Amino acid sequence: MSDTDKIVAAIFAAAKISAMGERPAAEYVAEYESFLKVLEKREMEARAAGSDYDAWPEVSAELKAELSDGQKE
């Protein structure tokens, strides 16, 4: 699981719980962990299917392009 996945899970958890109004911190943590489980399951299913798992292909492609441009200079 990448750091990006963890950040996305945190953002989703914060958005979902804060939309419910004032809640205890434990609910944010529980929701964050549930989003992580969903992302982990998705990653495992993709790997089991034999695909090259990349949760953020657009970002990866952009980074690879930037790296290759930097090496050409």
CB-based burial label for 13 (10 Å; 0-12, 13-18, 19+): buried
What residue numbers bound the domain in which 45 lies?
Answer: 3-72
pTM check: above 0.85: no
Confidence label for 53 from pLDDT (cuts 50, 70 and 90): low
Q: Which two tokens stand for residue 21?
A: 């109004």
Q: What is the mean pLDDT of residues 1-19?
A: 89
Q: What is the mean pLDDT of residues 36-46?
A: 87
Domain count, the chain: 1
